[in-house]
Amino acid sequence: METLAARIVDAVPTASGPILVRDRCGRCELVDAVVAECLRRGLEPVVEHVDNALLRALIASTPVEALARWDLDREHDTERVSAAISLGGWPLDTGGLPPDSLVAWGAAAGRTETALESRRVPTVVVAVPTVEVAGALGMTLRDLDAHVFPGVAVSATDLRTSVESLIDALAASSTVEVRTATGLLVAARGARPLLVDDGVIDADDISAGATVSNLPAGSVYWTVVEHETRGDVLLGDGSVLRFGDGGRLRDGAYAGERVAHIGIATNPMVTRTIGWTIVDEHRPGSVFLALGENRYMGGANESAINVDLLPASPTVKAGDITLVTNGRLAV
């Protein structure tokens, strides 16, 4: 776990002094290794042990008034941490939780994230397998570890190398086409910069507004000219996104939202799709399409959501060059 912990802390090289370590997984051996690595580097880990099981219990049993103070009770730490590491990466199961409690906690947690974003605090979210996640995916924990952790451990140098074949083609075209079985999505990049996710949030990334990264990492991505997105895209779950006037979704759960950014994944150690988005979206040739807020990375779309979605077997072209064919890298 020590090598893995070192790679995780490498993701936030600008950190100094207090660093927030969120235990959302309950894997003590990894959490302890990350804390030890922070201490070894002279950082002050501020540890929040609230894994998903405990968080469900807290939301279910805590008075709404106390949940509404979730951010205020952590305000001192939020205002002073220089970076954040979240160990988990699996969505909280909110089924059966009291609606009022969920709203109160969600609003308070959202204010915490907004406060971190306003200070451009680099934040890395790490996919950490648990018994519960493995069960949901129909895998053993041992097998899930073997699938996920090699992708987490890939060095930033190797991840930068993995995107090189895509950069020139994307830089030469201001428009990208994503084709799926339901038709064509056309998204203009215009002069928006290409961003490389090498799993390290350095000073240049922070200046560009790219303050959030995942591990596994490994992709090139870009914000789109939001109001110019047009067309349809089929997602892996069988639903279809249809973008109309002003680049907004015409219907469905995210009706009215616009594309925030699009990316192409290149991590050589993520070898197959397993049903865990934070991992799957880094398999080479996987394409991720984000909806919602993107001002933190230089876009112009204001939204209350930010969600990554995966098109089904996409083919991607930049100008005359095919970059991805049926969900596999073509360059």
CB proximity list for 192: less than 8 A, separation 6 or greater = 222, 223, 224, 225, 298, 299
Torsion angle defined by CA atoms of residues 303, 306, 65 and 101, in that order, rounded to the nearest 10 degrees = 120
The answer to whether residue 181 scores a pLDDT higher than 80 is yes
Structural domain boundaries of the chain?
2-153, 156-329
pLDDT digits (tens, 9 = 90+) for 220-274: 999 999 889 999 999 988 999 999 888 999 998 899 999 999 999 999 999 999 9
Taking residue 100's Cβ as centre, other Cβ atoms within 10 Å add up to 11
| Residue carrying structure tokens 């969505």 | 91
Nearest CA to 265 among 314, 200, 298, 206? 314
| Residue carrying structure tokens 């080479």 | 284
For residue 187, give both structure tokens. Answer: 């998204």
**DSSP state at residue 296:** G
What would the DSSP string read from start to end of 266-295?
--TT--S--S-HHHHTTSTT-EEEEEE--G
d(CA 31, CA 47): 9
pLDDT digits (tens, 9 = 90+) for 48-106: 998 888 999 999 999 999 999 988 888 888 899 999 999 999 988 899 999 999 999 99
Q: How confident is the model at residue 208 (pLDDT cuts 50, 70, 90)?
A: confident
Nearest CA to 329 among 241, 247, 251, 268? 268
CB proximity list for 111: less than 8 A, separation 6 or greater = 71
Q: Looking at domain 2-153, what is its CATH homologous superfamily?
A: Thermophilic metalloprotease (M29) (3.40.1830.10)
List, in sequence order, every residue forming a beta bridge with 305; answer none if it has no partner. none
For residue 50, give both structure tokens. Answer: 């609230």
Taking residue 243's Cβ as centre, other Cβ atoms within 10 Å add up to 22
